[in-house]
Structure 1
Amino acid sequence: MDGASENPGNLPGVRAGEGEEEEEDVSHLNEGVTLKYSENVEDLLAYLKSHPMFMTKEPTVEDIDNNPLLQGIQALKYDQDNPLEYSEELKEEGNDLFKKKKYREAIVSYSEAIKQVESLPELDHPSKDFLAVLYTNRAAAQYYLGNRRSAMLDATNALKHKPDHLKALQRLCLCFFELEYYEDCIKTCTVALAVSKDGIKIKSWKDDAGKKLKLKQRNERKEQLKQQKIKNVQTAIQSRGVKVKTKWPDESFAPVPSLDTALGVLSWPVTFFYPEYLECDFIESFEESCSFYEQLLMMFDTKAPWDTNDSHTIDNLIVYYEDFTETPPKPVPLERPKIPLKDALTKQQVVDDYHLSYFVLPKNNSKLNELFSSNFSKFKLKFKEKLHSK
């Protein structure tokens, strides 16, 4: 049989019974590219560069995730009849990428290898050991990327398949230590020491974890005491019918109230502002049982160096608080100078901060008092500017 008049398999481009070739219409194969890129040369070039056939550099994990063609090639690459053989190749590929510090790409290879092995109907002992190696290798790649939790989970999975896998135990020790799981680190180090022939490094990790654990527990106890102290102060303030608008501040940067639990007495940090001179005094601890008169008497027992008008004498002072129940807040004079701080706060109801502020003016200067009341916000702004300039 010469075959000149037949077309075995109905090959395209040749009519059955004829020996002449007919040109095949293949325009449909390029239809998507033609329609999409025919009007934009730059987009066409970009498309060609992203095509596997024209790529000039090794694609990254992100390239594969965003390119269906690369995903298809990846799938074909791993679609083999013997999962164990190909998982071994993938492991070697991952190891090579790991040595080149291409940790993300190495994770892709290890992950696919794990997938291949876990697809087996049953896992025998060697397969479990192999899975432990793969998970441990992926844990190392995750670790070097800074993904401590992912590395911890991979090391844990490795130990599920091989509980005495030393490298997995070591990796888990490191992850526990750096994540500040010191108790878990100590327990894991103990297991690793039972497996390791040379446990000097593991023992040092265990000792360091023990020291860190003691320090952490001490700091936790201190923080618990601190939080209880804050709660006690806040509860005492609320019981006096006072609302504070702001949250409890960082005590490293701001003064806060204190509570004498034995006597049940609150003390507040207070700043007295003197609008006549734009001066101020800070009182670190103003006991609530103490009156404004008593506090100011201690302060003005001798003449203030800035009081050039001799206006700030104990019997010539009037104290204003800021009424935050009003919008905008306005200054209100205390009716009696000998009123205790506790009673004044009950009258105020709302304070802006855990650091209290009061304004002190001379009684005999009615013009200044009127100006202060009508231009309260401007006075506050001037004080703010002066304090910030210091």
Structure 2
Amino acid sequence: MPTIKEIPDEESSAASLPAGPQMKHHDNHDQFMEDLMKTPLFMKTMPTEQEMEENETLAALHSLIYDGTPEEIATNFKNQGNDCFQGGRSQYKHAISYYTKALDQKADDAKLNATIYANRAAVNLELGNYRKVLNDCAAAITLQPENVKAYYRSAKALLALDKIPEALDCCERGLKVDADNVALKKEREKVLKRKQVVDEMERRRQEQEAKRKEDDLRLQEAIMVRGIKMVSRQQAQRDDEDSDAEEQPGIAHPLQGDHRVKLDPVTGALTWPVILLYPQYNESDLIAAFHEEDTFADHLQLMFGEERPGWDVEQIYSPDRLEVYFEARAEGKPPMLLRVGNKLRLLDILKHPDYQIIDGVCTFFVVPGDTDYSKTFRRKYKKRKP
């Protein structure tokens, strides 16, 4: 015969539920996933300080991390760092953070601390932070001189920095501790191969430097034999100041660049960079390689023979009308203007006792003869007094 059972009230029903936290029921799937990701087991990233404070479960777990001796806490952090390192590049910053926290515990265990330093060096090695690798490996070796991994990682960092002698030294020291270490042997082979390349590069550099010095010596001898005077701009300016001459415009040319006097190794002839100044229009030209046997007539014909420059508005710069001058700089006297014969070789002009090549560049003035400007230009120099 069926019996009638008493229906329990709400309080007795609640009392029958199991103790402990209950699963929350969410109507919103996104909210459910967000709450789930806050559970330590499902977290994919390191929690922030704020999350630690707001999440009671995290706070409780965090307090457990620091429960134990400094050695135990450091070991725990080291192991977490190892897990992050194994997790790939995205976890490297967390690995470094854990290793640093492990070292902050100042555990009284030299071997443990040396391992942590070497492990942090491994992470920085992957990240290319070679200076940090060397610092951590040095600390590891100081604490544990037989730490082969520290020697190995130091050698890799030093090789990356192209510090070959130091890298080779680390390999040798590590192999003294473990002569059969395969990784160190392979690294030593890499260092030796790089050493061969670097040595060959240095040998070639020294050969090139020796050749350059030999070429420079021959060039200087060729200039001295010809009796050509070369001075620096500073020296020329001092000479002008001593003579109380009027200030003259600079003669440096923006196109000069790396053009320098050159010696032909076969013929022994010199070619010079020559600047032509046209003071009437404040214009200039650069002849990068003026052969010492060439004349101004040769170059002026090429430059002004068939086509005149756009700035020659009066069309008076014709080869047969142009006059070439240079500043004669006699010691103790103000600069004088001397005219150059257009059919003279450049070499004959450069050998003039009062001609000076300033900063390795030959400079000349070019003006059209028998014009009001040429008369005014020459008159400026005639007015100068010693």
Q: TM-score range by the shorter chain?
A: 0.5 to 0.7
- Aligned 1:79-90 pairs, distance under 5 A: 79-90=66-77
**Residue 163 of structure 1 aligns with which residue?**
145
**Residue 339 of structure 2 aligns with which residue?**
336
Q: Distance in 2 between matches of 1:246 and 1:178?
A: 48
**Residue 257 of structure 2 aligns with which residue?**
254
**Residue 131 of structure 1 aligns with which residue?**
113
**Residue 31 of structure 1 aligns with which residue?**
none
- Aligned 1:305-320 pairs, distance under 5 A: 305-306=306-307, 311-313=317-319, 316-319=322-325
Larger Rg: 2
What letter is aligned with 2:189?
A: S
What letter is aligned with 1:211?
A: Q
Give ranges in structure 1 of 5+ residues lacking alignment. 1-51, 121-126, 261-265, 322-331, 372-390
Distance 1:256 1:163, change over 3 A: farther
Structural RMSD (CA): 5.4
What letter is aligned with 1:149?
A: R
**Residue 210 of structure 1 aligns with which residue?**
195
Distance 1:154 1:268, change over 3 A: farther
1:272 to 273, 276, 283: 276
User: By how many angstroms is 1:239 displaced?
Assistant: 9.3
User: By how many angstroms is 1:96 displaced?
Assistant: 1.8
**TM-score (normalizing by structure 2):** 0.52
Number of residue equivalences: 275
1:116 is aligned to 2:121:
no
**Residue 299 of structure 1 aligns with which residue?**
299
User: By how many angstroms is 1:257 displaced?
Assistant: 3.6
What letter is aligned with 1:241?
A: Q
User: By how many angstroms is 1:210 displaced?
Assistant: 1.1
Instruction: For residue 335 of structure 1, give the secondary structure of its aligned residue in structure 2.
Output: strand
User: By how many angstroms is 1:94 displaced?
Assistant: 0.9
Distance 1:172 1:243, change over 3 A: farther
Distance 1:218 1:179, change over 3 A: same
1:198 is aligned to 2:182:
yes
In the alignment, is the contact (CA less than 8 A) between 1:189 and 1:202 conserved in 2?
Answer: yes
**TM-score (normalizing by structure 1):** 0.52
What letter is aligned with 2:124?
A: Q
Q: Distance in 2 between matches of 1:115 and 1:171?
A: 22
1:241 to 195, 216, 235: 235
Distance 1:165 1:310, change over 3 A: same
Q: Distance in 2 between matches of 1:197 and 1:224?
A: 41
Distance 1:226 1:301, change over 3 A: same
Distance 1:271 1:279, change over 3 A: closer
Relative contact order (C-alpha < 8 Å, sep 6+): which is higher?
2
Q: Distance in 1 between matches of 2:235 and 2:79?
A: 71
Q: Distance in 1 between matches of 2:251 and 2:97?
A: 50
**Residue 287 of structure 2 aligns with which residue?**
282
Q: Deviations over 1:152-176 (max 9, x none)?
A: 1112222222333232222111111
Most deviating of 93-102 and 174-183: 93-102
What letter is aligned with 1:299?
A: H
Q: Distance in 2 between matches of 1:311 and 1:165?
A: 82
Distance 1:155 1:255, change over 3 A: same
Instruction: For residue 318 of structure 1, give the secondary structure of its aligned residue in structure 2.
Output: strand
The alignment-based identity, stated in percent, is 18
1:105 to 71, 74, 94: 94
**Residue 344 of structure 2 aligns with which residue?**
none
User: By how many angstroms is 1:93 displaced?
Assistant: 1.1
Instruction: For residue 131 of structure 1, give the secondary structure of its aligned residue in structure 2.
Output: helix
Distance 1:90 1:280, change over 3 A: same
In the alignment, is the contact (CA less than 8 A) between 2:110 and 2:144 conserved in 1?
Answer: yes
In the alignment, is the contact (CA less than 8 A) between 1:193 and 1:202 conserved in 2?
Answer: no
In the alignment, is the contact (CA less than 8 A) between 1:318 and 1:334 conserved in 2?
Answer: no
**Residue 377 of structure 1 aligns with which residue?**
none
In the alignment, is the contact (CA less than 8 A) between 1:189 and 1:205 conserved in 2?
Answer: no
Distance 1:198 1:57, change over 3 A: closer
1:144 is aligned to 2:136:
no
Distance 1:344 1:144, change over 3 A: farther
Q: Deviations over 1:95-150 (max 9, x none)?
A: 12222322222112111212324x53xxxxxx333222211111122222321111
